[in-house]
Structure 1
């Protein structure tokens, strides 16, 4: 059997740790390769580690064809969903996979909308597309649900929305050494996101120094963010010092209005007295 190992597919999902690989190897040597390798034609889609171990020790294995795949994007989405359903991957890995899935789904939906709007044909054709048999059309994968919000991404990854935000920040701002630390589980997502706020040189220095220094760096970042909030009441105290001047000005204005009001009342009283005299005459 000719099996093609596509290096891009092999690297698409983060590889096992040495400990996980050793455990899988022991299991296969003891019990054999129980799960079939998944193929798309000749291309190996799932089971790269199992295939390598079986090749290394000359052990038999089974294969199964997935006939639903039409494009490499279909393969990627299937791989992502398979790994999102496993408990062995970390929270960070699940978040990264869910964000990858969002990119693929968004691209597919954009292309579909573009093709629909640029075509004069009805968007839903009841006929079988040219070049496809009814069986082929029936076996096509259903379109995945859109991931159009952080909440939907978080649900797909079984994370919180805040964790998704932190993972996005790590992907955009973290140095490779910091990413390696959170991938390996040396530090948490929270710690990595905090350290990612630092310049790249400081991230690398902290990552090279190890777990304790990374935690200290994250602590310094959080304290620096808290400090301005703690110092923010100072402008309010300045406002308080300015408050008596404003009160004094208001009091003066009230006094002026009171005097004007008294004068007007006196004028009204004088007019009423003059009117009474005229009526009496």
Structure 2
């Protein structure tokens, strides 16, 4: 039986973020191969984290910048190590190289962090993103992690092309792996349009692009409301900060709902999902 060690940047929260859903898909894919899977993370545990033991996955709390990881990884002796985002490869990759030199190293990029950061900087400056924005310290760190890994999982064709054309990364080091969809759990029927109401959007408030989206929706909502005076915009997402809840305005129908117990249900109840 192969042994897999996944080193997580955060504990998986599939009901909070797309990243959490994607991570659970990968973990379950490993388990479907009848591999032994352990998830380790230095992050603090959270109220919305999933119980991995229900999927037969063991867990381990690890520490940053501590030799205790060396003893731990030697004892576990994994065949495969997957790093959740380049920051975890930076922290633990060299230790894996030293104590488990034969382990296959996989980097799960989630999104390219350098691309996300570059777009964010361009957005803050009020201009269009360009490839010159990518020449950053974050890009150097992330590309270095990709080059140190045996294979990196890339979520979009756009990112694959960017890595090939701009950063000249060998295609042999990259594997295109978009979101995995469980076709058996896709509903065959949903509410009719006439039985739905209002607008909605959903996204973890700790993810900067989601907060930018809320601010943009605040700008355009009066234009929609002018045409549809009774419409409401329901804004869902885990971990809404005070600056978000302060935007809640029942008079204008701009409603900060926060955590959704069932994301599928709140989407089915709405007529339109706004996703700038």
TM category, shorter: under 0.3
Which protein is bigger by CA-based radius of gyration?
1
TM-score (norm 1): 0.25
- Bigger helix share: 1
